Structure 1
Amino acid sequence: MVYVALIMTGMMLVLIIGVLINHNRKNHQNVSERLIHDKKLEQQVVNLIRSNQDQDIIVGFVRDETGLNQYKAQEYIHKLQTERGL
């Protein structure tokens, strides 16, 4: 009987973790879609790049404004630098 309870608890944890991961993935997709259309943020980041701000400051700014993690923020900045030839 104890084993059944442990198995059921484990299955519930796996289900909850799966739901949370899926929710997190959807949130990042929504942020990425918003970034494509956010010209104000894009211009602010381009201005920071052009003013030779430290990369850590720019990444921190993007993270604060968007909620992206470090990797995704750096990816966004690199994409802007490539597109704009900065």
Structure 2
Amino acid sequence: MVGLEDWVYGLKLDSNGKITSFSGPFYGDFDRTIRPSGRREALIPAGFFKVVCFVNKETNKLDVRAFVIYQDEAALRDKSGRSLYNKG
């Protein structure tokens, strides 16, 4: 998600500079499990969603963006976290 975080840092915010975001996991086709030594099996999410809300300096209007970051095989190979993300 480093690529997405870089995008957020580069936003053109209005003069108050406020931004709101929330995120969470989702489960589906790419779920995996892991069993740490001495622990119960844990489910690893298929990916995460993130919603970013801010007042855009250029339009002076509320801007809302939603993203989906999968944890599929291709995403896991991207060790730097800078692969393209699916933006909706």
Which structure's residues are more often helix, by fraction? 1
Same fold by TM-score, threshold 0.5 exceeded? Answer: no
Which structure's residues are more often strand, by fraction? 2
Which structure has the larger Rg? Answer: 1
Q: Which has the higher contact order (CA 8 A, sep 6+)?
A: 2
Give TM-score, length-normalised by structure 2: 0.22
